[in-house]
Homo-oligomer: A and B are copies of this chain.
Amino acid sequence: MRIVVPFGAAEPKTRLSPVLDATERRKFAAVMLADVLGALTDGGYEPTVVADAPVDVSSFADPFDPASSANPGAERSLGGRPVETPVPVSVDERSLTAAVNARLPDHPGEEPTAVVMADLALATPTALDRLFDREAEVVLAPGRGGGTNAVVARAPDFNVDYHGASIRDHRRIAADATRSLATVDSFRLATDIDEPADLVEVLLHADGRSAAWLRDAGFEVAERDGRVDVHRQ
């Protein structure tokens, strides 16, 4: 199975701007990508990053070193763990939808393709196995707020459309193509990290580079008016 991880390298995670500046957003996006790639490679999969701008995955190096993204010669490690498998990066400046559709199967018998978003900081090999183990022609992992956080396409006539409430569109596209559809019921795969309120999920449910990076940046779980949120020291 081909596994594609789309990554918005040009201007990542703008909705986190209330709590992270542009440099931090780039760094945090890269750290989350490293967690997703790590969960995939730990599970034995071989992902390819599809980025909308050049990105040197090997340069993630030490996510705690602000200089590392400018220092591709730095030690090849992700959050202290060595990069055991170099992950290929393909630059595609088209929209997310167009770049993904260009990589989905377009004729019968072509290799199935999975698409896993780069901001699933809670992803684990176990959660990803649940995605890949479903046998339907189209498998969807819904994201909170109507999104589609992961797809497996085993049919040539399924395409993605990431605009708006994409999970609804993807169900319709699969139905129109009379393809069997399965949905993975996973909190980990449903939790894409877009907004400040999402950071608490990383702190509470992840133990990888993203959680370590947030803690190092001063974030901690806080309670305010009976609700749980993050606080930055």
Contact = CB atoms under 8 A, between A and B. Distances in A.
Interface of A: 126-127, 130, 142, 144-147, 164-165, 167-168, 185-191, 197, 200-201, 204-205, 221, 223, 226-228
B146 A200 contact: yes
A200 B164 contact: no
Number of copies: 2
B187 A146 contact: no
B201 A165 contact: no
B223 A145 contact: no
Nearest to A130: B185
Contact of A205 (B142, B164, B191, B197): B142
Given A167-B204, A204-B165, A204-B168, A146 B221 contact: yes
Contacts of A190: 187, 190
A146 B228 contact: yes
Nearest to A223: B164
A144 B204 contact: no
Contacts of A167: 204-205
B223 A165 contact: yes
A226 B223 CA distance: 29
Contacts of A228: 145-147, 164-165
Contacts of A204: 142, 146, 165, 167-168
A58 B96 CA distance: 50
Contacts of A188: 185
A227 B145 contact: yes
Contact of A142 (B126, B147, B187, B221): B187
Interchain residue pairs A-B with the least CB separation, the first 10: A146-B228, A187-B190, A164-B223, A165-B228, A187-B187, A185-B186, A145-B228, A185-B188, A185-B187, A165-B221
A194 B187 CA distance: 17
24 contacts: A126-B185, A127-B185, A130-B185, A142-B187, A142-B205, A145-B227, A145-B228, A146-B204, A146-B228, A147-B228, A164-B223, A164-B226, A164-B228, A165-B200, A165-B204, A165-B221, A165-B223, A165-B228, A167-B205, A185-B188, A186-B186, A187-B187, A187-B189, A187-B190
